[in-house]
C-alpha cells in the first residue's frame, strides 16, 4: 500500500484531474500534475504543477523521482510516456490498457477478438478500404482512430462517396467506419478495479447527448433504459469483463448503446468518466476516491448511491450573450442554480470559455427520482441551455 502523506502523480490537468487532486488531498496525499497548459484546472489546485509536454523526459524524471505512483485523467497521453514511468514507479492504468482505449481501431479489434458486443465496423487506412467496405455498413459514421472526442473527428456518411470525401477531409488519418445503429438509449458504467482483480461498479447511468457531447446523465438509469430480460449480459457484467481482459487497474468508464433491447459497447475511457461526476454528491465514495484507492493499493470502497441524481454539463456557449457562443462574453447567472433545492454546482476554473468546452456541471440529488429529474431539467433551462 502507498499511504499518506505520499506524493502521487497525475498526467493531465483537466477537470477529471482536478477532482482527483481534491479526492487525494482529502485522503492525505500530495499530488503533482504534469500538463503543458499553465492554466490547467488540476494544476491550479495541485501541490506542484509541472508545465511540460507529456514527452518531456526531464519532467517525467521529476515525477519518477518524487512521486510514489502515477495515473492519468487523459486517454491521449502517449503510451510511451506511461511505459517510461513504469521503469521507476507503479503506473495505473498500464500503458497496454490505455493504448487499446486511445485508438478506435485497437478498441474495436479488442472487442471483436474477445467476443464482446459491438456494432458492425470496418478499419479504414486508405481510400481503397472505403471502396472495399461492405455496402451494408451504410449509412455510417466515419471516426478518426486517434484524438477524437466529444463529437470531434467524426462525420456522418450516407454512402461510399460521402465516406471518401470525409476520409479526404480527415487527411487520410486512419479511421473506423461504424454502421449507424437505431438507438433506444445510451447508458454507461463506471467501475474501479484493483490489482487483485476486485471490481466495484457504480449503478449504471442513462445518458443524453447534444451535438456529440454528453448533456445529461440520470443515475441510476431509469428502468425504461435497461435492455430486455433476454440480454445475455448486463452492462455492469460486460464492463467488468472488459476491465478483466485489459488487466485494468484504476477507474474505467464504458459507454453503451442500447439497440432494440441489446447492449452494444460504444467506447471505453481509461479514466474517470464525465457520466460519473454525480458520484461526488450522490455516493458514499466517488469515482475519484476509487481512482486514488486503486492507484495506492488501498481496499476499494463499496459504492452506495444514497440519492437519486441528475448531472447536467455546462458548456462554454453559456458564457456568451445568445447562449450559443456569440455576442457579449459574460458570466452566467449562477443565482438561478443556487436557488434550486438539492443542486450542487461545480465549476472547473478554466480561464476561457469557448463553445463546446466543458466549463462545469451541476448535480441535483434527492429521494424522489422523478422530482430530481424535473428540477434538473428546469434548472438546465433556467441557466440558458437550449435544445436545438
pLDDT one digit per residue (tens) for the chain, 388 residues: 999 999 999 999 999 999 999 999 999 999 999 999 999 999 999 999 999 999 999 999 999 999 999 999 988 888 899 999 999 999 999 999 999 999 999 999 999 999 999 999 999 999 999 999 999 999 999 999 987 665 568 899 999 999 999 999 999 999 999 999 988 899 999 999 999 999 999 999 999 999 889 999 999 999 877 766 545 459 999 999 999 999 999 999 999 999 988 899 999 999 999 999 999 999 999 999 999 999 999 999 998 999 999 999 999 999 998 888 888 899 999 999 999 999 999 999 998 899 999 999 999 999 999 999 999 999 999 999 988 6
Question: Annotated binding residue at 178?
Answer: yes
CA angle 220, 335, 348 (to 5 degrees): 60
Question: Annotated binding residue at 185?
Answer: no
H or E element in which residue 370 lies: helix 369-383
Question: Annotated binding residue at 179?
Answer: yes
Question: Annotated binding residue at 348?
Answer: no
Return the C-alpha cell found at 266.
Answer: 460504444
Q: Please give the model's pTM, rounded to 2 decimal places.
A: 0.94
Q: Are 60 and 85 in contact (CB under 8 A)?
A: yes
Question: Annotated binding residue at 84?
Answer: no
Q: Enumerate domains of the chain plus CATH numbers.
A: 7-91 (3.40.50.20), 120-179 (3.30.1490.20), 185-383 (3.30.470.20)
Tell me which residue of 320, 310, 340 sits closest to 384, measured CA to CA: 320
Task: Kindly give the residue spans of alpha helices, DSSP state H, lying in 141-267.
Answer: 160-169, 235-246
Question: Annotated binding residue at 104?
Answer: yes
Question: Annotated binding residue at 186?
Answer: yes
Tell me which residue of 74, 22, 71 sits closest to 346, measured CA to CA: 22
Residues 102-137: b if buried by 16+ CB within 10 A, e if exposed: bbbbebbbbbeeeebbbbbbbebeeeebbeebeeeb
Report cis status (omega within 30 of 0) of the bond before 220. Answer: yes
Query: How far is it, in rounded angstroms, from Cα 388 to Cα 384?
Result: 12
Question: Annotated binding residue at 267?
Answer: yes
Question: Annotated binding residue at 171?
Answer: no
Question: Annotated binding residue at 333?
Answer: no
The phi and psi torsions of 213 (rounded to 5 degrees) equal -120, 140
Amino acid at each position: 500500500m502507498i499511504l499518506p502523506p505520499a506524493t502521487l502523480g497525475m498526467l493531465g490537468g483537466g477537470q477529471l484531474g482536478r477532482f482527483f487532486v481534491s479526492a487525494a488531498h482529502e485522503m492525505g496525499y500530495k499530488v503533482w500534475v504534469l500538463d503543458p497548459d499553465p492554466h490547467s484546472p488540476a494544476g491550479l489546485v495541485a501541490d506542484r504543477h509541472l508545465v511540460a509536454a507529456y514527452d518531456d523526459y526531464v519532467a517525467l524524471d521529476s515525477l519518477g523521482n518524487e512521486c510514489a505512483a502515477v495515473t492519468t485523467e487523459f486517454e491521449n497521453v502517449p503510451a510511451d510516456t506511461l511505459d517510461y514511468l513504469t521503469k521507476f514507479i507503479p503506473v495505473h492504468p498500464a500503458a497496454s490498457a490505455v493504448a487499446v482505449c486511445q485508438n478506435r481501431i485497437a478498441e474495436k479489434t479488442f472487442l471483436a477478438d474477445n467476443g464482446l458486443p459491438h456494432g458492425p465496423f470496418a478499419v479504414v487506412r486508405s481510400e481503397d478500404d472505403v471502396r472495399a467496405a461492405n455496402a451494408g455498413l451504410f449509412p455510417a459514421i466515419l471516426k478518426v482512430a486517434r484524438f477524437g472526442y466529444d463529437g470531434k473527428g467524426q462525420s456522418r456518411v450516407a454512402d461510399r462517396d460521402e465516406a471518401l470525401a470525409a476520409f479526404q477531409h480527415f487527411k487520410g488519418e486512419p479511421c473506423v467506419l461504424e454502421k449507424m445503429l437505431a438507438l433506444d438509449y445510451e447508458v454507461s458504467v463506471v467501475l474501479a478495479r484493483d490489482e487483485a482483480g476486485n471490481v466495484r461498479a457504480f449503478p449504471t447511468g442513462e445518458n443524453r447527448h447534444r451535438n456529440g457531447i454528453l448533456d445529461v446523465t440520470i443515475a441510476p438509469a431509469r428502468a425504461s433504459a435497461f435492455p430486455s430480460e433476454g440480454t445475455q449480459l448486463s452492462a455492469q457484467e460486460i464492463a467488468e469483463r472488459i476491465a478483466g481482459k485489459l488487466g485494468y487497474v484504476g477507474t474505467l468508464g464504458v459507454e453503451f448503446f442500447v439497440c432494440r433491447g441489446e447492449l452494444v459497447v460504444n467506447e471505453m475511457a481509461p479514466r474517470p468518466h464525465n457520466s460519473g461526476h454525480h458520484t461526488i454528491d450522490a455516493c458514499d465514495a466517488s469515482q475519484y476516491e476509487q481512482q486514488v484507492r486503486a492507484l495506492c493499493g488501498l481496499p476499494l470502497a463499496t459504492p452506495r448511491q444514497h440519492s437519486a441524481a441528475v448531472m447536467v454539463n455546462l458548456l462554454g456557449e453559456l458564457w456568451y450573450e445568445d447562449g450559443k457562443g456569440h455576442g457579449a462574453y459574460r458570466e452566467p447567472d449562477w443565482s438561478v442554480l443556487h436557488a434550486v433545492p438539492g443542486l450542487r454546482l461545480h465549476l472547473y476554473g478554466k480561464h476561457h470559455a469557448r463553445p463546446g468546452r466543458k466549463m462545469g456541471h451541476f448535480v441535483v440529488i434527492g429521494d424522489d427520482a422523478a422530482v430530481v429529474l424535473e428540477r434538473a431539467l428546469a434548472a438546465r433551462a433556467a441557466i440558458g441551455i437550449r435544445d436545438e
